[in-house]
A and B are shown apart, each in its own frame.
Chain A
Amino acid sequence: MNLLELQNLKVWFDVREGWRGRRALRAVDGVDLVLREGEALGIVGESGCGKSTLARAVLRLVPATTGRILWLGRAIEATSVAEMRPLRRGLQIVFQDPLASLDPRMTVGEIVAEPLRVHAPELDRAARRAAVVDMLARVGLPAESVNRYPHEFSGGQCQRIGIARAMVLRPKLLVCDEPVSALDVSIQAQIVNLLLELKREFGTSILFVSHNLAVVRRLCERVLVLYLGKPMELAETDDLYARPRHPYTRALLDAVPLPDPALQPARLNATLGGELPSPLAPPSGCVFRTRCPRAIDACASTVPEMREFADQSSGQARSIACLRAEEF
């Protein structure tokens, strides 16, 4: 069975405009996705592309406007808060800002124990404490951390605490919303390695939201590229990075700086122009056409659907939303 399935998921926000006007901001606009058990899937795109909103909608932290969210085959897009609570044991999240996502007045022990108090009330104090110390050790923090407060820890250590809090329930799915973006370069690698180990050890599925394409490549088996709330390309990681087929995927990869003085100056000269259009007034047809170097007249009138192809080299399935997908 699929762990998670999204069917034409849309998340629109109602935005006030002018005196009485209202307009829909289409943060996520029609995403279909299947997450398999034990799989890590990356969601990438520029800021404002809807990647965080999509992750939050999966956890019901923002309501879905239309479409379905199937968790282990069961529709959860409209379940009540009370019905949702027992399911949350299997769905946990790690946030971007490691310090801001920890309550400054709680000790680290209390922070990591809280999910157990809520979801595993059958555990007594001693069992809870043992589970907490065990989980802290697993993420690389000493046992004496339990009596200390978040401000006593560095950014990287706070992120380890956030990961321990999420993993202490052994969730089936861990949603990571830009978990390494606020960290120093040397610390990012530590956290990426930790997530890889936890995934291997517990078989946890990961939905990994990030603008850092190099980190996503290390961690994820498949990658979904979003632009203005719409899916552009979904493919196996190796296929996507070696043979990007959507013009936006290609532009995104070309923009990632390489620490290589022989290659990087030339890459800078081939940069994508323009900026993300306002999500309140997305272009007609293909939303990427205003920046696309390969746009034709038809792109302005026809909305491209995600169509499935077989990768020419690996033979694996990949989906591309581009009218000219066959040509590239």
Chain B
Amino acid sequence: MNRTLLSIRELSVRYSTPDGIVPAVNDFSLDLQAGECVGIVGESGAGKSQSFLAVMGLLPGNATVGGTATLGSESLLGCGIDALNRLRGARIAMIFQDPMTSLTPHMRVGEQIAESLVLHKGLSQTDAMARALDLLQQVQVTDARRRLHQYPHELSGGMRQRVMIAVALACDPEVLIADEPTTALDVTVQAQILSLLAELKRERRMGLVLVTHDLGVVAGVADRVLVMYGGRVVESGAVGEMLVSPRHPYTRALLRSMPRIDDDRTAPLTAIPGQPPSPAKLPSGCAFHPRCAGADAACRDQLPAMLEGRTRAACHHPEGAS
């Protein structure tokens, strides 16, 4: 039953800057199945967005991408712009954090949705507009017929994000990458958008990648979670294990530092000391060691290998190991 849609192997992203080579992503691998949602969690500079911008061929000119990424039998990396343009928007689509800057301000909403249908599916403008209306209704835009002829600035933030999802879904992609899709939205609208994404994933058996910094966002939608730190995946596993009994000290610390609305509010929050590292100045060994309470000499000197267990954790001393 399981069908791998997107397969990423040993992906790396390096930037050449005036200050030298900056590694943004190292050794990132992921297999995304049909009907599965994988949550990618990390703080700023962890490399979570960079990994998927690389897959979509959206990185600036000074970035070098290594490794492989395949969508079915098609290679996404180094396949040339024409081949990439046939896949992007048709079989793999991406939505972004800020729906205002990602929609074209001078095009009506309907035209933006119809554009990819005309381009990829060869629909006539009339048919494409009819389908656009259909899509707007599917993403639960109220008053859809009127919205077709409106410009992005006439819509609210939540409405714009729905339009962006409609644009992404126009050609029935197998894979949807959502990069912080709800970070700019209010909690009530965030819940609406997340519930919509979960529903679309179920109905279309789409592969969904949900990039976020919020473990709560992941909990409602994702089946699996990858936690990134300093450009690497430090832990991955099923959402039940990852949010309930993670093994990597960073995942554990991240969970503890997040206040919940149902915890003991008088207990002090366990903050993680220090700050997330900049990719330009990564610590030696395990990148988390300067902030880790259990770090020793091995952590400082050697990059930890991925250890199998309840979850896969890249740590010299994972929880649950003897």
B180 CB → nearest A CB, Å: 13
Q: Could you say which residues of chain B place their CB within 8 Å of the CB of A46? A: 186-189
Q: Does A70 contact B (CB under 8 A)?
A: no
In the complex, are the beta carbons of B276 and A184 less than 8 A apart? yes
Beyond A189-B271, A257-B217, is A217–B259 a contact (Cβ under 8 Å)?
Answer: yes
**Which of these binds chain B: A100-108, A120-128, A248-256, A317-325?**
A248-256
Q: Could you say which residues of chain A place their CB within 8 Å of the CB of B265? A: 217-218, 237-238, 241
B165 CB → nearest A CB, Å: 15
Q: Does B239 contact A (CB under 8 A)?
A: yes
- Chain A contributes a number of interface residues (CB within 8 A of B) equal to 47
In the complex, are the beta carbons of A185 and B244 less than 8 A apart? no
In the complex, are the beta carbons of A257 and B219 less than 8 A apart? yes
Q: Could you say which residues of chain A place their CB within 8 Å of the CB of B255? A: 259
In the complex, are the beta carbons of B219 and A272 less than 8 A apart? no
In the complex, are the beta carbons of B186 and A269 less than 8 A apart? no
Q: Could you say which residues of chain B place their CB within 8 Å of the CB of A301? A: none
Within B163-215, which residues are at the interface with A (CB < 8 Å)?
A: 186-192, 194-195, 198, 213-215
Q: Does B220 contact A (CB under 8 A)?
A: yes
Within B34-72, which residues are at the interface with A (CB < 8 Å)?
A: 43-44
In the complex, are the beta carbons of A186 and B268 less than 8 A apart? no
Q: Could you say which residues of chain B place their CB within 8 Å of the CB of A215? A: 259
Q: Does A267 contact B (CB under 8 A)?
A: yes
Mostly, the B contact residues are: helix
Nearest residue (CB) in A for B256 is A189
Q: Could you say which residues of chain A place their CB within 8 Å of the CB of B271? A: 186-187, 189-190, 192-193
In the complex, are the beta carbons of B190 and A186 less than 8 A apart? no
Q: In the complex, A175→B279 CA distance in Å?
A: 35
B220 CB → nearest A CB, Å: 4
Q: In the complex, A251→B217 CA distance in Å?
A: 17
B279 CB → nearest A CB, Å: 14
Q: Could you say which residues of chain A place their CB within 8 Å of the CB of B216? A: 256-259, 264
In the complex, are the beta carbons of A261 and B243 less than 8 A apart? yes
Beyond A190-B271, A258-B216, A259-B255, is A213–B261 a contact (Cβ under 8 Å)?
Answer: yes
A→B interface (CB under 8 Å):
46-47, 154, 156-157, 184-190, 192-193, 196, 211, 213-215, 217-218, 237-238, 241, 251-265, 267-269, 271-273, 275-276
B→A interface (CB under 8 Å):
43-44, 156, 158-159, 186-192, 194-195, 198, 213-221, 239-240, 243-244, 253-255, 257-262, 265, 268-273, 275-276, 291
27 inter-chain pairs at a CB distance below 8 angstroms, sorted by A residue, are: A184-B213, A184-B276, A185-B43, A185-B214, A186-B253, A186-B254, A186-B271, A188-B257, A189-B272, A190-B273, A192-B259, A214-B258, A217-B259, A217-B261, A217-B265, A253-B261, A257-B216, A258-B260, A258-B261, A259-B260, A260-B243, A262-B240, A264-B219, A264-B220, A265-B198, A265-B219, A271-B192
